[in-house]
Structure 1
């Protein structure tokens, strides 16, 4: 099966009223590098990633997702995807054009089936990056982005049909049925996932660490700093990645992870993992229980940016 025109996850942009506390958290505690600021918008990079930035922060009256951005290999692919989506009735936020964000590039924006803003771009200038040192507990790259939907089957079908993502695995909750779907656009087990929730919202933003030692050191540092832990540390079955979830200063859930599985694009067969089997939710058995508290934090507040394009 041909891979999609989308090649990878670039960055996530979020907004909140208390921008100063958000910036301080992601820069001083989470371990991202503040690279640029213009008209009140802040761009943060991961030291091990060639992406100009992996997180964008903006001040807004209400907490919201501004957009999720993916990469494409060529400008021709951006044009082809934009034409295909527009021809099938997808609402574009703007046509393909030169971008004026750090690194420039060429891209367009559109609303997905739930009303999130998605950006696809090519030809973005890469940033100088470095190898993360042993025991250095800062993110290497943006790993994946998970959203909530009150109609997740429809959302998953939308990303598969319109953007070419492929299903890697599914989680179910016993007889209550499926509740999370992991989607890939390359050989990583998932760059995007959809979870069943009471409303459209951010579920969590995940950042890859150098290795298990660095992941645990980062987890411990945040615990010592008094950052609210949601769930972890543990190791998932689907994707085989480690997990430690915390709350940022606006009430979004963010994750440290490492060792996310890579799978063969053509030959990986999706499995359904029942999380009522303890090993399927946490192979190590070290995390606190997945309970109503954890679910509430990951359900988040309703996204105020649905079908509303951000100003920048």
Structure 2
């Protein structure tokens, strides 16, 4: 039986990287985030339009990895309830719920998912002073969604449905390869997470919402002019109906500019199964370079070296 949904939204994705300075320069300069509360070897990057204290955290480390993916909860009671349910179900907690020592404080805990990624659940984090992104500003408004590669995507989908009450929005399939990607939601946004079939657990991509089509295109063009490697786009997906431009950060993580992700009526929505071999499924506009095995492999990323090892901070 599916658990009651106690998480409310996606907060941030935390990455460990060997070349910290280069990565920080990319995200705080070219990509358009704002570094705040940063220290030696640790940087918290906020989106100007988001109330979250930060949407990306960078940590200097020997090994490249996802440090954690963070989700919000409505209150401390829900945090405690979730921690209790996970522990009762045999999920390994990194620690019991406690006061958070990260910017904005709050109350939360961390645990390992079925493949060993660290996940954080938190409530009562202070709201960051943010602003409306203005017309023509080609910087991220918020973190839209995170997509993970999984060597056991069916098991990963089942884990997030059972323990965190994620709901399936849509599925991508291919006639030769079967089901390939599952779009999962925790609120009315079409997806806050997606799970891609991959050779190993790793980050597939992190996606950032821009103000509108014009700002999205301006941002895409700004990155191209800056010489950032584009791997796919610009275009518009069918699942989620959102625009996409995928780039590589200096450490080979895929990051996306997007806008206009669908907001669903959860009471009436029925998941679709889309055939990925149909070109309109991957790009309704027909403007993106063709999706093929070479493009897909760029988002497999390096195997995550942080599985079942909690980040030090």
TM over 0.5: yes
Between the aligned partners of 1:2 and 1:156, the Cα distance in structure 2 is: 14
Match of 1:235 in 2: 236
Name the residue aligned to 1:145.
146
Q: How far apart in 2 are the matches of 1:311 and 1:212?
A: 39
Given that 1:228 and 1:246 are in contact with CA atoms closer than 8 Å, whether structure 2 keeps it comes out as yes
Q: Deviations over 1:152-209 (max 9, x none)?
A: 0110011001110000000011242110000000000000010000000000000000
- Is 1:75 the equivalent of 2:66? no
Contact 2:3 2:164 in 1 (8 A): no
* SS of 1:222 mapped into structure 2: helix
Equivalents in 1 of 2:203, 2:50: separation in Å?
23
Q: Tell me the CA shift for residue 39 of structure 1.
A: 4.6
Look up the match of 1:203: 204
SS, match of residue 144 in structure 1 = strand
- Checking the alignment, whether the CA contact within 8 Å between 2:3 and 2:163 is kept in structure 1 is no
SS at match of 2:95: strand
**Residue matched to 1:133:** 134
Cα distance in structure 1, aligned partners of 2:123 and 2:80: 10
Contact 2:69 2:119 in 1 (8 A): yes
- The equivalent residue for 1:7 is 8
Query: Runs of 4+ in structure 1 displaced over 6 angstroms?
Result: none
Q: Whole-Å Cα distance in 1 between the matches of residues 41 and 176 of structure 2?
A: 48
Q: How does 1:74-113 map to 2 (within 5 A)?
A: 74-113=75-114
Which ranges of structure 2 fall in alignment gaps of 5 or more residues? none
| Deviation (angstroms), 1:3 | 6.0
Aligned length: 312
- Is the partner of 1:160 in helix, strand or coil? helix
Deviation at 1:293, TM superposition (A): 2.2
Indicate the SS of the match to 1:289: coil
Aligned to 1:54: 55
Alignment of 1:108-257 (within 5 A): 108-257=109-258
| Aligned residue in 2 for 1:264 | 265
What's the TM-score once normalised by structure 1's chain length?
0.98
From the superposition, tell whether residues 28 and 39 of structure 1 become closer, same or farther in structure 2 (CA, over 3 Å).
closer
| Cα offsets for 1:279-310 (capped at 9, x unmatched) | 11100000001112211111000000111111
Given the superposition, is the C-alpha separation of residues 143 and 249 from structure 1 closer, same or farther in structure 2, using an over 3 Å criterion?
same
CA contact (8 A) 1:66 1:117 kept: yes
Q: Secondary structure at the match of 1:10?
A: strand
Partner of 1:291: 292
In 2, the alpha carbon distance for the partners of 1:23 and 1:3 equals 38
Query: Aligned with 1:178: secondary structure?
Result: strand
Q: Distance in 2 between matches of 1:34 and 1:157?
A: 36
Q: Describe the superposition over 1:37-69 as per-residue Cα deviations: whole angstroms up to 9, x where unpaired.
A: 135210000000000000000000011000000
CA root-mean-square deviation: 1.0
| Rounded Cα–Cα distance in structure 2 between residues aligned with 1:61 and 1:2 | 38
CA 1:88–1:3: 2 relative to 1, 3 Å: closer
Q: In the aligned structure 1, how far is the partner of 2:193 from the partner of 2:265?
A: 17
Q: Which moved more, 1:148-157 or 1:36-45?
A: 36-45
